Amino acid sequence: MYQRVLLCYDGSAEGRKALREGAEIAIAMKAETFLLAICRDTIATTPPEGISAELVKTQHEAAAALLREGVERLEAHGLTARGELVFGNPLEQIPAAAKRLNADLIVVGHRPRGRLARWWADSPQQTLLNLISCSILVSCSRE
């Protein structure tokens, strides 16, 4: 059913759970597997006087470690996956990667937010569901 699975990973507990579940689906479907490691760009929100070569180096090292961790987790499940590291907003990066890879399934983790966080964060922005044209699996925690 699924031939190309895009696993989205941010290093969080929810992301690790989504990676496990996505790996199981990819194995069962014998699907080509892609890992998209997504990092928020902290440099973009840092005042110019706060940006240093060390900050840039640290951000890139942390991002590379995130990608390595995701690929290693997939290899531990017996999968061979191509990995890509991106910086920025997941709502922009995930649909772009899915289109580029011609993915037919996207797997993401869900991090529940409280009422106050939802109230502050609600915006007229579109949701991921409105931005993609393939299936999506949202891995939810039991809590």
**Which CATH number goes with the domain that contains 48?**
3.40.50.620
What's the domain range around 54? 4-140
pLDDT of residue 124: 54
Burial letters for 100-126: b for 16+ Cβ neighbours within 10 Å, e otherwise?
A: ebebbbbbbbeeeeeeeeeeeeeeeee
Phi/psi class of residue 7: alpha, beta or left (left: φ > 0; alpha: ψ in -120 to 50)? beta
Segment holding 65, helix H or strand E: helix 53-76
pLDDT of residue 79: 87
pLDDT of residue 113: 62
For the beta carbon of residue 65, count every other beta carbon within 10 angstroms: 12
pLDDT in tens, 95-131: 999 999 999 999 998 876 655 544 444 455 667 888 8
pTM of the predicted protein model = 0.77
The residue assigned the tokens 């899915």 is 98
pLDDT of residue 86: 86
pLDDT of residue 130: 85
Of the two residues 84 and 11, the one the predictor is more confident about is: 84
pLDDT in tens, 1-60: 899 999 998 878 888 888 889 999 999 999 999 999 887 665 555 555 556 666 566 667
pLDDT of residue 129: 82
CB-based contact 39:10 (threshold 8 Å): yes
Q: For 83, list phi and psi in degrees, rounded to 5.
A: -120, 150
Which residues sit opposite 37 in a β-bridge?
9, 85
Number of separate domains in the chain: 1
